[in-house]
Structure 1
């Protein structure tokens, strides 16, 4: 009968570790698996959680278009060209939204472009989508947070704004990422409640700003922006006047404007987070996101056209900040208040836009890891049922990117759109193939939509790769070239391991387990202490045919001391000494075990005592010989290695506490337990023990005296119980 661990057999007397106590204090009580359904998102909550990435990109998409137009030397013409370029961007957005409507309808378990590519083109092609989306999510966090920090800085008085350094902006952005990571580690429901409100506030405030601007323009009192020093400018030249130069500038502007579409795919990557019916709810949220995003992008671009809001080289004040100041006016109390509200909601939506990646990236990593193309620890849910490992990985990577590039949106954009539009391309072509194969209702219309979206997205990828190559797109291309083969290589390793560990339950007839006429157990001994006692006790419990303790001699002084202590302890178990002149303990152990395991009908088990110390200091002060030996022995046929852990750390803490309270005396100053200045040493049973030849020998709590007493008791008990260890094995 299966027993539920943690309920039917819960023990309140088992102490929790300090790490778990800290985790519970920070993240709250743990959620059980049955509560996973309670973490699903409603449509309203999902729109707030999953759409900020796309909706918030409207805050900087227009500015990125203007930057390239002004750098190209188009001057005032840039404010005219902004409208047709925005129109092309919105046309691409409509195709992408229509394409992803089909994705979330068919693929309701989530995965988005990755699952579409995997199911229609195979797992290897799907890794292109996996790398594309992972790059997009990482860059999304960096871009959104950097833009949010710029919005905050734009609201500061000019006298303060001028003294804010790029490093200070980067530090603020990193702190925000850490806070966002913490919020998501508490679970997506808590994160959604906190992050959904800014989505609605920002959308409402910007729509009010656009409507107010339209009204003021209709009455002829919408002012123009008068730029100060530090604005983005370009020098007109002859190449700009010829067709090729003009086209190149327009393509760069369009590529920058493509950043407005990032985030649309987030809904498709988290369909399983929706409440049932998942596909229908995701479809409605996706359409709502597209309508809101299209309205905001069109309105902000029109305001830039009408007001001539101009971007600055430093990134502050932002274009949307200038528009808010011009539309509402900053010379009245109400106007200034509305301006501050715009800046506050812009910063909030940009910050929470990064939260979309904290929802999408862990789900994507989970899907890829389930297919064995990423480490499987990315499939594990954490303390609050979130994919904690994926959340932490995303935070680390995005912080590293911000630290390397700085909190400047224009420097981050070249890393941005290639990844997401590659995913759009695979999703479009994948769904086109799906419709062609399955031929469901209205499949021709759907095929045309998806294929058109795929072709258009591919064109955008090629444009971006060419016009942004020297600005940073080359690095993204390198990531693709290295990342995709790396994922395929990792999958190959998993498949090789799975072949070696083939599940015998899937075979028609499971093989008979090997039986041995004799079972030999070796206990490897390096010292006589309580860890050795625990290992010997476990070895006795196996009731082997032959039981021997083995010490590999690399120091004759230590070996002689151990021989005397072993004889004095009267263990009733033979202690063999094996010379190891070249000090290759693992090799020497393997030779001993293989010689025994090669005998007909003999199975060998090796017991290795391992002392558990503190994680950090223990690794510095002690080696991992037992693990190395076990790894070598595990490769020998008919042999197995078992590590018997002995917790030294807790006993050290107890002893230190006793010494601090005065109830236990420590060793003489400058000496380890067991090191004395010479002369007889009191033993545990009161009898004299000869002076040591040197070296640290634990006594008292865990030393040879205590160990000897324990071993003698074990030997007496074993003799009374007629232990199966043969007399030949006795000392």
Structure 2
């Protein structure tokens, strides 16, 4: 529909200009326009703007596997048709812009909107309908153009992620079998760009074009190097095509980068090296992790699960005696006979109350309380594990079992379990310490407040 409406607009515009003559020039302030180097810069700037119109051709080459056989033949036809459409629409709009004296720039409507308004007019019902249909088709085609990124980008990052150059979360599919993480990342990045550039299409296109032509240059250069290495049948003309393509796209990328530098192209020029550096670091990290996790063939063949050389000792850090801490102590009893309940005393009164409440449990598990004059919680626990009082033996595995509340609402998590997060983060740095949590599922606040029948003494903590 968009192509039909654009062709109709071009035909109507040329016929109207031929019959009634071009419209008069708009009233503008007289000014002085220099020549020389400024003219060359303007030509380069216009050339860079025009190059953005041909950036869609890579979609055809990327979709060759999706074509019906013979795929190459059908792809060539589509590419030729796409080139014809670009020449007709882009060239026709350029001619109409000159004929009707459309004025680009900030504060003015888009050129297509200006041309449609001058060609159709909005004085009649038919003219208004044609104008709004044309503008509506432009709006819809822009939405479709934006949607192509959300179908192509997540697939691209999933492939890169599979090769280890991006976080592996990008290769995971969501519940609807789409690459949800890639879509979310692209959405956030698009929002940032729109806000940063104030939704200025002209600046965003320049930012997009320089990135596209850099990718064109890299792909053409990669194919050129491939032909030089493999040298198959008729490799010389193929290498020549890719070599010339790499040079042309490189020059275009340089021109766009220079002419659009102050409009945001500098972001791509600086960000791409940072992205490459980050991707290489991610790849090295995954490689290092894989090397450390790899199990040798001898270990696999001689693995004996019964040959346990260490014993498990459990520490249950608590702040007070409550249903959550009692639940954790009971569970600790099922996984080890060597259990210690540990607490950090920040106030004398709370320490006294804790000792009294713990004595009422009548358990044979020792309670160890360390004072912390500087009100630190994690350091005393680590120092206790390393102290002679705990009598840690080389080879023992220490399981630190942390009581935890499982709350119903997301904002409740901010109010609870913050100390547990800090303790777990510090303890995970020690290779002989295992951090485990014992959750207690809490009921909804309204259910507890509105229920007079709720009796915590009758609720079993286990």
Q: Deviations over 1:474-513 (max 9, x none)?
A: 333232343332333344444444444x232x64534756
Evaluate the alpha carbon distance shift between residue 646 and residue 497 of structure 1 in structure 2; reply closer, same or farther with a 3 A threshold. farther
1:640 correspondence with 2:434: yes
Query: Match of 1:248?
Result: 41
Other structure's SS at 2:430 match? coil
Is this contact kept in 2: 1:373–1:490, CA < 8 A?
yes
Query: Match of 2:6?
Result: 206
Query: Match of 2:423?
Result: 629
Other structure's SS at 2:324 match? helix
Higher relative contact order (CA 8 A, sep 6+): 1
CA distance in 2, matches of 1:557, 1:360: 63
Choose from 53, 56, 61 the match for 1:260: 53
Choose from 200, 221, 224 the match for 2:22: 224
CA distance in 1, matches of 2:201, 2:409: 41
Choose from 70, 80, 90 the match for 1:297: 90
Other structure's SS at 2:264 match? helix
1:444 correspondence with 2:241: no
5+ residue gaps, structure 2, are: none
1:659 correspondence with 2:449: yes
Is this contact kept in 2: 1:251–1:463, CA < 8 A?
yes
Is this contact kept in 2: 1:223–1:326, CA < 8 A?
no
CA distance in 1, matches of 2:231, 2:31: 52
Cα distance, 1:254 vs structure 2: 0.4
Q: Deviations over 1:403-430 (max 9, x none)?
A: 2222333343432321111011111111
More moved, 280-289 vs 512-521: 280-289
Cα distance, 1:249 vs structure 2: 1.8
CA distance in 1, matches of 2:102, 2:461: 83
Evaluate the alpha carbon distance shift between residue 567 and residue 477 of structure 1 in structure 2; reply closer, same or farther with a 3 A threshold. same
Cα distance, 1:560 vs structure 2: 1.7
Cα distance, 1:457 vs structure 2: 0.6
1:456 correspondence with 2:263: no
CA distance in 1, matches of 2:424, 2:105: 61
Is this contact kept in 2: 1:315–1:408, CA < 8 A?
no
Query: Match of 1:613?
Result: 407
Cα distance, 1:571 vs structure 2: 3.1
Is this contact kept in 1: 2:41–2:259, CA < 8 A?
yes
Evaluate the alpha carbon distance shift between residue 604 and residue 333 of structure 1 in structure 2; reply closer, same or farther with a 3 A threshold. closer
Evaluate the alpha carbon distance shift between residue 608 and residue 277 of structure 1 in structure 2; reply closer, same or farther with a 3 A threshold. farther
Is this contact kept in 2: 1:309–1:322, CA < 8 A?
no
Choose from 464, 488, 496 the match for 2:280: 488
Choose from 574, 579, 603 the match for 2:397: 603
Other structure's SS at 1:548 match? strand
5+ residue gaps, structure 1, are: 1-200, 665-699, 712-731
1:521 correspondence with 2:314: yes
Cα distance, 1:202 vs structure 2: 0.5
Other structure's SS at 1:526 match? coil
CA distance in 1, matches of 2:153, 2:177: 15
Is this contact kept in 1: 2:399–2:436, CA < 8 A?
yes
Other structure's SS at 1:577 match? strand
Cα distance, 1:375 vs structure 2: 2.8
CA distance in 2, matches of 1:297, 1:373: 38
Residues 352-391 of structure 1 mapped to structure 2, 5 A cutoff: 352-391=144-183
Q: Deviations over 1:446-494 (max 9, x none)?
A: 3222222211110011112222223332333232343332333344444
Residues 110-509 of structure 1 mapped to structure 2, 5 A cutoff: 201-213=1-13, 220-221=18-19, 223-228=21-26, 235-237=32-34, 240=35, 242=36, 244-268=37-61, 274=66, 285-305=78-98, 307-314=99-106, 316-328=108-120, 333-500=125-292, 502-504=293-295, 507-509=297-299
CA distance in 1, matches of 2:324, 2:353: 18
Q: Deviations over 1:81-119 (max 9, x none)?
A: xxxxxxxxxxxxxxxxxxxxxxxxxxxxxxxxxxxxxxx
CA distance in 1, matches of 2:234, 2:23: 50
CA distance in 1, matches of 2:235, 2:143: 40
Is this contact kept in 2: 1:521–1:605, CA < 8 A?
yes
Cα distance, 1:336 vs structure 2: 4.1
Is this contact kept in 2: 1:611–1:647, CA < 8 A?
yes
Query: Number of matched residues?
Result: 456
Relative to the length of structure 1, the TM-score reads: 0.56
Other structure's SS at 2:404 match? strand
Evaluate the alpha carbon distance shift between residue 440 and residue 658 of structure 1 in structure 2; reply closer, same or farther with a 3 A threshold. same
Other structure's SS at 1:263 match? helix
Cα distance, 1:298 vs structure 2: 2.6
Is this contact kept in 2: 1:528–1:562, CA < 8 A?
yes
Q: Pairwise CA RMSD of aligned residues?
A: 3.3
Evaluate the alpha carbon distance shift between residue 284 and residue 520 of structure 1 in structure 2; reply closer, same or farther with a 3 A threshold. farther
